Structure 1
Amino acid sequence: MRARRILTWTGFGLILAGLAMLGWVAWEFYGTTWVSHRHREQALSRLEQGWRGGHGSVRTSWGEADAIVRIPRFGSSYAVPVLEGTSAAVLATGYGHFTGTAGPGQVGNYALAAHRITHGEPLRRMPDLRSGDEVIVQTRTRTYTYRLTNAGSALVVPMTATWVTTPLPRNPTGGIEPAQQPGQRLITLTTCSELFHTDNRMVAFGVLVASAPR
């Protein structure tokens, strides 16, 4: 009888552990994205309000926001804020701007990172991007249009490959890289290459092709 009770409670424990695991998975895949979408909308609203008030950037609960990324390939409603840095809070809200890299439209490399899965998934469809696709970056005063020079899944690098965020990225393996012309105004998008672990990064480079008052 005692052994049966032990087996029964062990079975209950395993069931509860399984339910807890399922709940955690559901939260990671759906809950974090739901929360991130709410944070994203709040950040976009704060940014638009700040711009109307003459402020180039605004402080949000998740970081300093100063731009909006639009990618026509992802649909007309796609709009994701850019926040400074690449902390967990920043990447759970939108794009993170690698501190120390160029700003929108500037000479150098405007380097951005975003999640591909969970936490809003701004670059879930990174593999759908094609060479020639536009990436539009809006600031308070200007709209910058970049054109991608490689497809979203064409370049995969280790997460330790810091060369992709340098002012003029040079591929040490001799593979995909921006044209090696000093003075380029570049954008770099980075995200996880695999859906369920983060050993590597997909990287897409783009070059500024237009700049207009907003």
Structure 2
Amino acid sequence: MRIPVVQHSSRRRSARRRRVLWGGGELLVTVGVVLALLVVHQLWWTNREAKRGAERKVEALEREWGDDNSGAGGGDSGASVPTPSASPYQDSSGRDRQQSATARQSSPSWSQAYAILTIPRLGLRVPVAEGVSKQKVLNKGYVGHYPGSQQPGQAGNFALAGHRNTHGEPFRYINRLRAKDVVEVETSSATYTYAVDKTLPQTSARDSGVVRAVPRSTVKPRYGYSEPGYYITLTTCTPEFTSRYRLVVWGKLVSMRPRS
């Protein structure tokens, strides 16, 4: 009977295969750990840091304005806004309070935080900064003001953008807003109260019509407005954890309360 002989070359090949398989396994485990750390960084760490930074900025703005209140509130006690064509903020002496409040505002510098956005239904209170740069504005947990759109309280469209996921995700739940929900914008000169009016659940990321002075979707024209007014627009990405489409919420100005 012949006894099989194991060749040294066969042993070497088997050893190399084991080393390759072991090395491949280690590489996969390492890649998995790295990906897990990246997910933790994006979903937890960036949110934590951005939210803390945004809270500190809100506190700094309140100190700068000498406002000891923790929230805006009471917006319905301000001047009403009857029509977009008339001056809506005249007091009993006939002075135009909107003009005087606007005159006290200075044009914000690029990426400067200059206002506070409060949405009571969402428990949201975050800074508003000029521009929509990811690095300098949105990734800091701020809400960004679209350059070229109007400022708070002005006739036209005060248009804002914010992250829906990661980096503070201030607009994660704006899909929960319903008609007549309150949205308040505080500046150094006044508090402007808007009421949610319409929602566009999904449109193209390139749908610039939603942030125009008279906002109307160019992709879905049945969504939007046809007359001048005092509008606010909130935009964010949809579906969650993607940036393929945009979710849009619109509101109308209902009152303004000047700071004393």
Taking structure 1 as the reference length, the TM-score comes to 0.89
RMSD, aligned α-carbons:
2.2
User: Which whole-Å CA distance do the structure 2 matches of 1:48 and 1:57 have between them?
Assistant: 17
Q: Report the Cα offset of residue 171 of structure 1.
A: 3.1
Identity over aligned residues, as a percent?
Answer: 38
Question: Counterpart of 1:40?
Answer: 54
Q: Report the Cα offset of residue 6 of structure 1.
A: 1.8
Tell me which moved more, 3-12 or 186-195: 3-12
Question: Counterpart of 1:149?
Answer: 197
In our comparison, the structure showing a higher alpha carbon Rg is: 2
Q: Report the Cα offset of residue 115 of structure 1.
A: 0.7
Confirm whether residue 118 of structure 1 aligns to residue 166 of structure 2: yes
Question: Counterpart of 1:21?
Answer: 35
Q: Report the Cα offset of residue 23 of structure 1.
A: 0.7
Contact 1:57 1:64 in 2 (8 A): no
Q: Report the Cα offset of residue 57 of structure 1.
A: 7.1
The 5-angstrom pairing of residues 39-188 of structure 1 reads 39-52=53-66, 63-75=111-123, 78-88=124-134, 89-92=136-139, 93-151=141-199, 154-172=200-218, 173-178=220-225, 180-182=226-228, 184-188=229-233
Tell me which moved more, 158-167 or 84-93: 84-93
Confirm whether residue 201 of structure 1 aligns to residue 246 of structure 2: yes
Instruction: Give the partner amino acid of 1:137.
Output: V
C-alpha distance after superposition, 1:37-78 (max 9, x if no partner): 12102221332233239x967999x93011101111113xx3
User: Which whole-Å CA distance do the structure 1 matches of 2:108 and 2:35 have between them?
Assistant: 36
Q: Counterpart of 1:176 in 2: which secondary structure?
A: coil
Taking structure 2 as the reference length, the TM-score comes to 0.74
C-alpha distance after superposition, 1:74-110 (max 9, x if no partner): 13xx310000100113012210000111000001100
Q: Residues 109 and 59 of structure 1: is their aligned pair in 2 closer, same or farther, counting only changes over 3 Å? A: closer
User: Which whole-Å CA distance do the structure 2 matches of 1:71 and 1:189 have between them?
Assistant: 11
Instruction: Give the partner amino acid of 2:114.
Output: D
User: Which whole-Å CA distance do the structure 1 matches of 2:159 and 2:238 have between them?
Assistant: 17
Instruction: Give the partner amino acid of 1:40.
Output: A
**Structure 1 unpaired stretches of 5+:** none
